[in-house]
A and B are shown apart, each in its own frame.
Chain A
């Protein structure tokens, strides 16, 4: 992994955190302002049982907001990157499944603004975000210094004593 060592720079971590947070905040806003439309977007994927669609539409954008805020302020970075990874993995499966079934539906990824159809672009964007978040999950605890922007002592550093991967 030596060639990727520069990615362990704390400023790169900061950049990744803020970029991911920005995407989630942007994604959450229109979902929160129009939960009924977001529910229809979820329902169009025909993956969740019908009764659960609204609950997902209510909950998902707030998980995005909370994750984004924690990433911005550098609190529980590894845990919030883990949530981010989990969500992008779920989105990855939903989008690929929609593509595999040839569904011509709105992505709903950024709410319903622009009526963007689900497609390969959505999948690639999701995969890129997934990799960025997974990198943080993997590397953040290796940081020997406090993350820039971290103002809570119980943040990432409290996890830096645990066992190293690899």
Chain B
């Protein structure tokens, strides 16, 4: 049994080395050490209280960065759906409503969810700097008993 165990270790070591070399030369290579997660800076976030004030004031827009199915199942009232993963097909419709200085709140669901961060980055590229992230937005909004609605995009 022992020679097989040694050989098995050798197989793993050699193929790992091969993988590392291939990754180094491949155009699709990824960093050996996973880069840290995109953590939002505090100034990019908006608190639930601030978001609620902005919402009641009717200022700006709330953008739901989740997939259309999740949006249809329930979202913050009056929020528009702009899925971060299918940005292009939805963008024109939303863009027509926005001015560069429009205050925008983006959200998705779950502490780990990165959709809203990605959406914020895309909006920044397109010249919309006034975007805040409501972290774990759908859950905190809903559990606070604030206004929600269901249904697909209007």
A residues bordering B, Cβ < 8 Å?
Answer: 32-36, 39, 43, 50-55, 57-63, 65-67, 70, 76, 78-80, 82-83, 86, 137, 141, 158-159, 162-163, 165
In-complex Cβ contact of A83 among B3, B11, B23, B31 (8 A): B11
- With contacts A50-B36, A162-B3 taken as known, whether A58 is within 8 angstroms of B11 at the C-beta atoms is no
In-complex Cβ contact of B30 among A39, A52, A62, A80 (8 A): A39
**How far is it, in angstroms, between the C-alpha of A53 and the C-alpha of B6 when the chains are bound?**
26
Query: 6 closest A-B pairs (Cβ-Cβ)?
Result: A62-B19, A79-B7, A66-B15, A82-B8, A54-B34, A59-B16
Specify the chain B residue showing the minimal Cβ separation from A76. Answer: B7
Number of interface residues of B (CB under 8 A): 29
Cβ-based interface call for B12 (8 A): yes
B4 adjacent to A159 (CB under 8 Å): yes
Q: Total number of A-B contacts with CB less than 8 angstroms?
A: 92
A78 adjacent to B28 (CB under 8 Å): no
**How far is it, in angstroms, between the C-alpha of A65 and the C-alpha of B16 when the chains are bound?**
11
Interface centre among A62, A76, A165 (most CB of B within 10 A): A62
Specify the chain B residue showing the minimal Cβ separation from A32. Answer: B22
**How far is it, in angstroms, between the C-alpha of A162 and the C-alpha of B32 when the chains are bound?**
40
